[in-house]
Structure 1
Amino acid sequence: MTDRKKRLPAARLVMIAALFGLIAGAAAVYVRESGSGNGAAAEIAAADACLMAKDKVAAITPFLKGQVAAMAPVAIPRPLTGLTFKDKDGKDLTLDDFAGKTVLLNLWATWCVPCREEMPALNALQTVEGSERFEVVAVNIDIGDDDKPKRFLTETGVHELAYYRDASMGVFNALKKEGLAFGLPVTLLMDDRGCLISSMNGPAAWDSDDARGLIRAAVNRQ
C-alpha cells in the first residue's frame, strides 16, 4: 500500500514535473550517431518499424493530462539502443529483453528526493496494471553496491517492482546523449515493439487515475 505520509502531495509532484518538462523542452536536442555495416542496417530497420507506432502516439496523447501532463508525446517514435542494465542476479539486460511488452522505464537513485517520493506510486502502478503485457522497469543508478537501494525499497514497502540496476550510470548517460535525460527521475514509455512514444524528466503521481488511464491506452486495454 502506498505510504502517502512519506510522499509529496500530487499537486506538488505535478509542479515539479512541469518545471522539469519546461527545462527539458528548452534544452532537448536529438543527437544520434550513425553506425556502419550490419549494425547501421539493423538500426534503420528498427527505426522503420517504429514508424508504425505513430498510431500509438496518437492513441495516448489525449491521456497525457492531469497528474501525467508533463509526459510529452514524441514527434517520431524510435527505438533506443545502448541501454544496458542488470537484473537482480547481475545478468545484463536491454530493452530487447522486454519485447512484446509495453514498458514504463524509470531511472531513479536513493539520493534523488523526487525519485524516492514517487517509488511507492510506481510500485502501486505495477501492482494494479502489471501483467505479461506491461511492466514498470525501474532502474536504480546509485554508484556502489546493492545495499543502499535494496534497503530503501524494503523500508518503503516497494515489493512489486523487479530489481534492476546500473551502477555505472551508463543507461543515464546514453539517454542524456539522446536528449532525453537532464536529471532524475527520468521516465520513458516504450510500446510493445520497443519504440519510444512518450517521455518526461521529473516525478509524477503514478498511482493516480490519470496514470492508469495512460498505461491502459498504451497497452490498448480500455
Structure 2
Amino acid sequence: MPFAIGAVVIGAALGLGGFYGLGGLKQTSGDPACRGAVTLAQKIAPLAHGEVAALTMATVPLRLPDLAFADGDGQARKLSDWRGKTVLVNLWATWCVPCRKEMPALEELQSKLSGPNFEVVAINIDTRDPEKPRKFLQDANLTRLGYFNDPKAKVFQDLKSIGRALGMPTSVLVDGQGCEIATIAGPAEWGSDDAVKLIKAALGTAAAGI
C-alpha cells in the first residue's frame, strides 16, 4: 500500500511548529562513544535506496536520550532496556494518517527480523483516549508489535530537542549502545526487501564489530 508523501506536522496536536524538509535534521555535537555507529552508517549507506531512500545516515556520533515510556502492562520502560540490541524506534499516533498506513509494514519487519539482536519499538503518543491505539492495533490484527505508549508525548519532545523529530511518523535506527545509525522523516515500507536488506546488513556489520 503506497504511503502518503511527506510527514504529518505534529504542531496542531502538540503545539509545536516545523515540518520535515531538506536539511531538517539538526546536527549536534559528537559523542565519541558513538563513533562506531557512524562507521556502521557509512558501511550500510549504499543500501539506503528504493523503499528506504529517505533514510538519513548518521554522520555525527549521537547518543539518543534515554527515552522513557510505558509498555502494554503500564510498566515503566526506557530505551536503555534494549542495550545490546539494535532497535528501530518509531513514534506513531492514531490521528496521523501516514503512521496508521505504516504500521503493517512495521509489523512485517518485526515478524521477519525480531529476535535477540533486533526489535521494532513503536511508541504511541496519543494524548487522549488510551484505548484508541490499542483498538487500532487489534482491529488491524497487528499482533507482533509490542505496545508501548507515552501519553504525554515527551519522547517526541526529547527527539525534537536533538533535531530528530519535527513531524510524524519518525523513526530512528539505534545501535546496541543507544547511538543513532539512521533517521527517517516520514513513513517507509519497512517490510520491503530494501528495508530488510539494510537492517540485516546493519546487524551483520555490528556483529562483526565494524
1:146 maps to what in 2?
A: 130
Larger Rg: 1
What are the Cα deviations for residues 170-200 of structure 1, in whole angstroms up to 9, with x where unaligned?
Answer: 0001111111111100000001221101001
Q: In 1, Cα distance between the equivalents of 2:28 and 2:63? A: 13
The yes-or-no answer on 1:67 pairing with 2:51 is: yes
2:187 corresponds to which of 181, 198, 203 = 203
- Structure 2 gap ranges (5+): 8-18
Q: In 2, Cα distance between the equivalents of 1:189 and 1:146? A: 26
The yes-or-no answer on 1:16 pairing with 2:43 is: no
Q: In 1, Cα distance between the equivalents of 2:104 and 2:93? A: 14
The yes-or-no answer on 1:174 pairing with 2:164 is: no
Following superposition, the deviation at residue 82 of structure 1 comes to: 4.4
Q: Give 3-state SS (helix, strand or coil) of 1:79's partner.
A: coil
Paired amino acid for 1:183 = G
1:1-222 matches, cutoff 5 A: 8-9=1-2, 12-13=3-4, 15-16=5-6, 23-30=20-27, 47-220=31-204
Q: In 1, Cα distance between the equivalents of 2:97 and 2:162? A: 24
* Bigger fraction of residues in helix: 1
- Structure 1 gap ranges (5+): 1-7, 33-43
Contact 2:34 2:62 (C-alpha < 8 Å) held by counterparts? yes
Q: In 1, Cα distance between the equivalents of 2:24 and 2:84? A: 32
Contact 2:92 2:169 (C-alpha < 8 Å) held by counterparts? yes
Following superposition, the deviation at residue 72 of structure 1 comes to: 0.7
Contact 1:31 1:177 (C-alpha < 8 Å) held by counterparts? no
Paired amino acid for 2:81 = D
The alignment's TM-score, normalised by the length of structure 1, stands at 0.82
RMSD of the TM alignment (CA)? 2.1
